[in-house]
Amino acid sequence: WSLGDFEIGAPLGRGKFGRVYLAREKTMHYMVALKTLYKVELVKGRVEKQVMREIEIQTHLKHPHILQLLTYFHDTKRIYLVLEFAARGELYKELKRQPDGRFNEHLSAKYTYQVADALEYCHKNDVIHRDIKPENLLLTYDGDIKLADFGWSVHAPSSKRFTLCGTLDYLPPEMVMGQTYDVYVDHWCLGILCYEFLAGKPPFLSDTQQETYTKIKTMYIQWSDKIKPGAKDLISKVTFMFHIFIL
């Protein structure tokens, strides 16, 4: 494959090391998301090995709720990733578009189930995603979840520290305390994700990072009145039971 096989369309988003464009393969008119990574940027960011590891991980992951890396190629300046196109874009935007900023129980259950399904598959393949949050979930034309952005995935178990960036709201206690962790970090995030679907905001949201840390470490959740007993029971079990077990 090469760039000449595609017609490039609108930009879909900007990543750290490049951009994502809507593109159409010229022969079959197949729609894809074409992500460009600048080689010089990867070398400068000293992430070329990590990107190669991500490509290695993603080419072996095939699951209906994991965004497929269809193929990749490169030219002198750039690496091109041909990714599945998810026609309804970022779930995060869909969540914010809801009248009261949250999903009803039916949609929350559907999305939580589909993410859990994708995570079970990842864990069976010894991959920890580590960065489950609405921003990393995409929606297909049929409204199904595609788990994307394995920017922080590692092979389990791992004690690999990584620089904290983006939201802390999803970090489980053992990562906040820099301990070794295992696939359970994804369970924790799944519980936080389910909470955010139902309440419209993550449970440890605070004015300061320090406050968020403290709430996470003490696992202090202020249950939103929007979360019914059944959902509260599920989230507690998915999120806290494992951590009581681990800690």
Q: Given the complex with ligand N15, which of 81 and 227 has the nearer CB atom? A: 81
Distance CA 55, CA 62 (A): 13
Q: Given the complex with ligand N15, which of 87 and 164 has the nearer CB atom? A: 87
Angle at 162 between CA 158 and CA 165, to 5 degrees: 140
CB atoms within 10 A of CB 162: 13
In Å, the largest CA–CA distance within the chain is: 57
Query: Token pair 């750290």 is at which residue?
Result: 16
Distance CA 36, CA 78 (A): 6
Task: Tell me which residues touch ligand N15 (CB under 6 A).
Answer: 12-13, 15, 20, 33, 35, 51, 54-55, 58, 67, 69, 81, 83-87, 89, 138, 148-150
Distance CA 49, CA 157 (A): 19
Q: Given the complex with ligand N15, which of 83 and 128 has the nearer CB atom? A: 83
Residue 243: CB minimum distance to ligand N15, A: 28
Annotation says 131 is catalytic:
yes
Residue 148: CB minimum distance to ligand N15, A: 4
Residue 212: CB minimum distance to ligand N15, A: 25
Residue 9: CB minimum distance to ligand N15, A: 11
Catalytic site residue from 131, 149, 182, 225: 131
Supply the residues annotated as catalytic: 131
